[in-house]
Structure 1
Amino acid sequence: MRKLFILLMLLPFLGFAQQKGIRFENDLSWAQIQAKAKAENKFIFVDCFTTWCGPCKYMTNNVFPQEIMGDYFNDKFINVQVQMDKTEGDNDYVKSWYEDAAGIEKEYAIRAYPTFLYFSPDGKIVHRVVGGGEAQDFIAKSAMALKPETQYYTLLAKYKEGNNKPEDLRRTALAAQAAGDMQNGSAIFSEYLDTQKDLYTKENIELLNSFTFSSKDKGFPIFLNEGKKVDAVLGEGKALAKVKSIAANEEIYPKMFGRNSTGDWAPVEAAMKEKYPQVAEELLAQTKTQYYMYKKDWPNFQTQILAYMNKYGQKASPEELNQFAWTVFENCPDMNCVKEALEWSKRSLAGKENPMFMDTYANILYKLGRKDEAIAVQEKAVKLSNGDKDLTATLNKMKNGEKTWE
C-alpha cells in the first residue's frame, strides 16, 4: 500500500518531467499571465490561433511538442495559446478568454493565422511573427523578440521617431514584412527606395521582389521593362513570372473566375493585349486552360490544354505537368489526348521519384492498357510512400483488373 501511495504521489511529477515540448499555461487569465511574467522576469509568447486554421494545427501537433522547442521557450517565455474564433464546443476556459481574445485581435490588428505575439516582462508588445515554421527556423524568429535591435515594434517606434537612415529603413521594412504588417512595410520600403541611387544592385532587386505585389508597386515597372537585369539576380524567367502573376490577379481572375463573370473572354483579351503585350498571349492560353478546368468544360479543356502544351509546355513545372496529366486522365475520353498526357507525366518525373507523380504515370499507363508497366510503377510508388493507403488501393484495383477512374 505504501508503494502505491508513493507512486500516486509521483505521477504528477512524472507527467511533468515527460512533457518535452512547450509548456502552455492553460488555466490562467490574461491578467494572471502578465503578472506571472513580471514576477518571473520572463517574456510572454502568445500563440493566436483558430480552430479552422491548418497551419495552426500543424504547429500545435508537430512543432510545439518537440523537445528543442520546450528547452527554448520554457526557459525564456511564459507561454499561452489563445483561441481567436468561437465555436459551439468551446469549454469554460476558452469562453473566459473571449473578451481578452477580441481585445488582442483588435489592438494588434490580427488578420492572418497563426499570428504569434511577444511581450516584454512588463507586458509591453515588442515583436510579432506571422505564419508558422519548423522548429529551428521558428526559434530563430522568436529569438528576435528578445533583442531591442531586432524587435519589430521597437524598430517601428524608432522609425516613427525619425530613425530613417537607409539601413534602418531597410531593416524595419523587412521586420514589418515578417510581422505581416504590409501597410507599414510597403510605406517604409518606399522611403528606402527613395534613398537609393542604384535600384539594380543584388540587394535592391531581392528587396523589390519581396515588396512587389501589384502593378501599382514601385518595383513592377522594373520587372516589366528590365527583366534581364532582374533575372540576372533572381534567375531565368523570374521577372516574367512576377508580371504574369500580377497581371492574372488583376486583369483575369477577378473578371473570369469571380461570381459576376460573364464568360466573355473578348474584353479581357483586349485589355491584356493593350496593357501587357509581352505576356498576353501565353498568359491567356494558360488561364483559359485553368478556366475550362474550373468550369469542368472538358471538351474545351481538352482543346485548350493541347494547344497550350504544344506551344508552351516546355516551360511547365513538374507540378503543372502532373496536374494537367491527372486532369486529362480523369476527364478526357480521347485516348490520343491521354497519350499526350502520358508524356507530360513522364516529364514530371525527370530526375525525381515523387510517389504521387508516379501514381499519375501508372494510372495513365493503366488506362492505355499497359497493365504490367502500370503495376510495376505503382508498386514502386507504394514502396516510396511507405505504403500510402490510397496508392495501395489503386495498386490492388490494377491487379484485379478494375477501373481506377470514374
Structure 2
Amino acid sequence: MRKLLALLFIIPFLAMGQEKGIHFEHNSNWEKIKSKAKAENKHIFVDCFTTWCGPCRWMSENVFPQEGVGTFFNANFVNLKLQMDQTKQDSEDVKSWYEEAKRFGKDYEVRAYPTFLIFSPEGELVHRMVGGGEADAFIARAKEGLNPETQYVTLIKKFEANPKDAQVAKSLAKAAESAYDEATASKAIDAFVDNVGVSGVLTAENIDLLVQGATSSKSVSYGIIRDNMKKVDQLLAQSNKAKSSNDVLAGVLSRELIQPKMGRGASGAIDFVALQKEIEQAHPYIDMRGPIAMSKAQYFAREKNWTAFKDAVNDYLTVNPKAVSADMLNSFAWTIFENCEDAACIKSALNWSKKSLEGGEQAMFIDTYANLLYKSGDKANAIKWQEKALSLAAAGEKENYQGTLEKMKAGQPTWN
C-alpha cells in the first residue's frame, strides 16, 4: 500500500514534467478552437507543417518542447498543429483535419513549410511567419503577432489605407520579410523610400531596409545602393554587418544572370570565366568574383565533381571570407563528408569544419568535425569529438549522435 501511495504521488509529477513545452490541442476542430480562444481571450497559434519537412521536425523536436517556449505560448495562445500533407500512417485525429488543412492552404496561401499563422481571439488572421528558428528569436517573432503595430495582416490593411505613412510602410516591410512575402515587402520599401527620400533612407536606422529592398537590378533600392556604394559601406560597417554594398549588388546580379543558367532544365557546361567578364563589363561597378565562386561550387555539386567543388569553395573563402557563416562552412564540410573519398577534399573539409567552431561549439558542427576526422582515419580524436557532440546535443538528436559514436567505436563507416 505504501508503494502504491508513493506511485500515486509520483505519477502527477511525471505528467507535469512531460508538459513543459507547448500544449497543442487534440481531438478538436476549428470551431472548438475558436470558441476556446474567445472564451480565454487568447490568440490562436497554428503550426502548418508536413511530415516530410525537415525544419518542421526540427522545431517540433528542439524548440516546441522547451519550457520557456511552452510558458510563453501556453499563456498567450490556444495552440494547434495542422498537418498539411496526408500519409498512410495518419491517426484518426489527423484525418479529421484533412478538409480543414486544404482550406487553410487555399484561404491563407500556405505554400512553404513550416508556416505559422496567428489568429485573433475572434478567429481573424492577423499574422504570418514562415520558417523556424531558435527559441528566443522565435518567441520574439511570435510576440509581433500579438501587437497590432507589428502584425503582418493588420499592417497590410493599414498600408493599403494610407500608403504615405512611412512608419507603417517600414513596419510592413519587416513583417512581410518574416512572412516571406517579397512582393509586399518590395512595395512597402518603395513607398517608404518615396516618402522619406534618398537621404532619409541612407541612415544607420534604415540601412537594413534599403538592403532588404534590393531584390532586383531594377528596384529603387538597388539604384540607391549602386549610386551610393561608399556611403552604404560606411553604414553597414556602423551596423556591424559583414556584407558590403558589392555583396548586395553582386548577389542580385547573380540571381538574375547566373542562377537561371543553373536552374531546372538547364544543361551543358558553363563558362564561368566568360560569364564573369560579361557581367562585369555590363556592370563595371561590381566585383563578381565571390558570386562566381559560389555559383561554381553549386554547379560542381550538382555535377558531382567534388574536386572542383572543393576548389570553388576554397576560392570563395579566399575572395569573400567575411560573408561565410558557420552554417555555410558546416554545410560545405558535410557535403564533402557525404560524397567524397578524396584525401585532399577531406582535408579541406576538415579545415572548413574546424573554422565553423571558432564562433562557438554547437553539437551539429562538432558532429560534422568528428565524422570528418573519422573518415580521414583519426579514429581516436573522432570519438572524443563525437562524445562532446553527444553531450551538447538536444534530446531529439542524442539517439542519432549516439548511433554515430557506436559505429565509430566499432570501426564501422558512419557514411553511406
Q: Normalization by structure 1: what TM-score?
A: 0.77
Q: Is 1:252 the counterpart of 2:258 in the alignment? A: yes
Q: Deviations over 1:181-236 (max 9, x none)?
A: 33222212210110123131112221112232332332223444533222222236
Q: Which residue of 1 aligns with 2:205?
A: 203
SS of 2:145 mapped into structure 1: helix
Task: Identify if the C-alpha distance between structure 1 residues 270 and 261 changes in structure 2 by more than 3 Å, giving closer, same or farther.
Answer: farther
For structure 1, list consecutive stretches of 5 or more residues without a partner in the other structure.
368-373
Task: Identify if the C-alpha distance between structure 1 residues 359 and 306 changes in structure 2 by more than 3 Å, giving closer, same or farther.
Answer: same
Q: Is 1:287 the counterpart of 2:289 in the alignment? A: no
Opposite residue 45 of structure 1, the aligned amino acid is F
C-alpha separation in 1, matches of 2:143 and 2:358 = 40
Query: How many angstroms does 1:324 deviate by?
Result: 7.2
Opposite residue 201 of structure 1, the aligned amino acid is T
C-alpha separation in 1, matches of 2:414 and 2:95 = 48
C-alpha separation in 2, matches of 1:6 and 1:359 = 45
Q: Is the 8 A contact 1:256 1:263 kept in 2?
A: no
Query: How many angstroms does 1:4 deviate by?
Result: 6.2
Q: Deviations over 1:71-115 (max 9, x none)?
A: 333233222111111122222221221121111221111122222
Q: Deviations over 1:335-362 (max 9, x none)?
A: 7x98888877777777877645755885
C-alpha separation in 1, matches of 2:316 and 2:102 = 50
* 1:267-286 correspondence runs (5 A): 268-269=275-276, 271-277=278-284, 278-281=286-289, 283-286=291-294
For structure 2, list consecutive stretches of 5 or more residues without a partner in the other structure.
392-400
Task: Identify if the C-alpha distance between structure 1 residues 250 and 391 changes in structure 2 by more than 3 Å, giving closer, same or farther.
Answer: farther
Q: Which residue of 1 aligns with 2:221?
A: 219
Structure 1, 238-247 or 83-92: larger mean CA deviation? 238-247
Q: Which residue of 2 aligns with 1:133?
A: 133
Larger radius of gyration between Structure 1 and Structure 2: 1
Q: Is the 8 A contact 1:358 1:377 kept in 2?
A: no
Q: Is 1:297 the counterpart of 2:301 in the alignment? A: no
Q: Normalization by structure 2: what TM-score?
A: 0.76
Task: Identify if the C-alpha distance between structure 1 residues 391 and 107 changes in structure 2 by more than 3 Å, giving closer, same or farther.
Answer: same
C-alpha separation in 1, matches of 2:7 and 2:28 = 28
* 1:4-403 correspondence runs (5 A): 15=15, 18-162=18-162, 164-197=164-197, 198=199, 199-235=201-237, 237-265=243-271, 268-269=275-276, 271-277=278-284, 278-281=286-289, 283-297=291-305, 305=312, 308=315, 312=319, 317=324, 323=332, 327=336, 330=340, 332=342, 355=366, 358-359=369-370, 362=373, 374=378, 378=382, 381-382=385-386, 384-386=388-390, 390=404
Query: How many angstroms does 1:5 deviate by?
Result: 10
C-alpha separation in 2, matches of 1:310 and 1:296 = 20
Opposite residue 261 of structure 1, the aligned amino acid is S
C-alpha separation in 2, matches of 1:162 and 1:123 = 25
Task: Identify if the C-alpha distance between structure 1 residues 377 and 77 changes in structure 2 by more than 3 Å, giving closer, same or farther.
Answer: closer
Opposite residue 256 of structure 2, the aligned amino acid is E
Cα RMSD between the aligned structures?
A: 4.3
Query: How many angstroms does 1:28 deviate by?
Result: 0.8
Query: How many angstroms does 1:44 deviate by?
Result: 1.7
C-alpha separation in 1, matches of 2:388 and 2:208 = 37
Query: How many angstroms does 1:47 deviate by?
Result: 1.6
Task: Identify if the C-alpha distance between structure 1 residues 251 and 391 changes in structure 2 by more than 3 Å, giving closer, same or farther.
Answer: farther
Q: % of aligned pairs identical?
A: 39
C-alpha separation in 1, matches of 2:161 and 2:317 = 58
Structure 1, 148-157 or 307-316: larger mean CA deviation? 307-316
Opposite residue 288 of structure 1, the aligned amino acid is K
